[in-house]
């Protein structure tokens, strides 16, 4: 094999490896974007559920996830009511697309923000964090 052929072969391999790496990064970013969208939609559904609960029963006593789920599972709503939460609550819905529990924060106006720790699983209250908050 000549030196020129060997250099061309090295260049081709380099370009293929570079292309594969860029493709992997692109797919990773697309997957993260899809999970972020899924988390925002899921958080919106959770907020709707919490708002419906609070209209029927009043403010939540606690914003700790296990306590929120226990409150939503209450069974004293009328059996034929759309607010009979215990039969419609899926505890899995209270997690983001990465499997982390949502955190709930009560705002000054009394409404609740649903907070996801994002891909890294760490709640960070700083600019540039990967956390997702839905009001």
Sheet holding 112-116, edge to edge: 103-106, 112-116, 132-134
Can you give the residue ranges of every domain in the chain? 3-134
Q: What's the Rg (C-alpha) of the chain?
A: 23
Q: What topology does CATH give the domain 3-134?
A: Glycoprotein, Type 4 Pilin (3.30.700)
**Does the pLDDT value for residue 65 go beyond 70?**
yes
Confidence of residue 2 (pLDDT cuts 50, 70, 90): confident
6/96: higher pLDDT = 96
Q: Which long-range contacts (CB under 8 A, 24 or more apart) does 69-77 make?
A: 69/94
**Does the pLDDT value for residue 32 go beyond 80?**
yes
Average pLDDT score, the chain: 80
DSSP codes joined into one string, 83-110: T-GGGT--GGGGB-TTSPBPEEEE-TTS
The structure tokens listed for 51 are 């708002």
> 116 phi and psi, to 5 degrees?
-105, 140
Give percent above pLDDT 70 in the chain: 76
Q: Count Cα neighbours of 104 within 13 Å in the Cβ-side half-sphere.
A: 24
Please compute the mean of the pLDDT values over residues 44-48 and round it to a whole number: 89
pTM over 0.75: no
Residue found by looking up tokens 């306590």 in the block:
67
| Cα separation, 107 vs 102, whole angstroms | 16
- pLDDT value, residue 75: 57
């Amino acid at each position: 094999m000549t030196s020129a052929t060997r250099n061309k072969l090295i260049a081709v391999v380099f370009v293929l490896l570079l292309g594969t790496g860029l493709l992997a990064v692109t797919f990773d970013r697309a997957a993260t974007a899809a999970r972020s969208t899924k988390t925002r939609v899921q958080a919106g559904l959770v907020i709707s559920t919490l708002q419906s609960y609070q209209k029927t029963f009043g403010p939540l006593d606690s914003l700790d996830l296990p306590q929120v789920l226990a409150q939503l599972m209450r069974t004293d709503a009328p059996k034929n009511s759309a607010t009979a939460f215990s039969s419609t609550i899926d505890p899995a819905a209270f997690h983001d697309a990465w499997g982390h529990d949502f955190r709930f924060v009560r705002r000054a106006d009394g409404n609740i923000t649903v907070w996801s720790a994002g891909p890294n699983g760490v709640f960070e209250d700083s600019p540039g964090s990967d956390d997702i908050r839905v009001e």
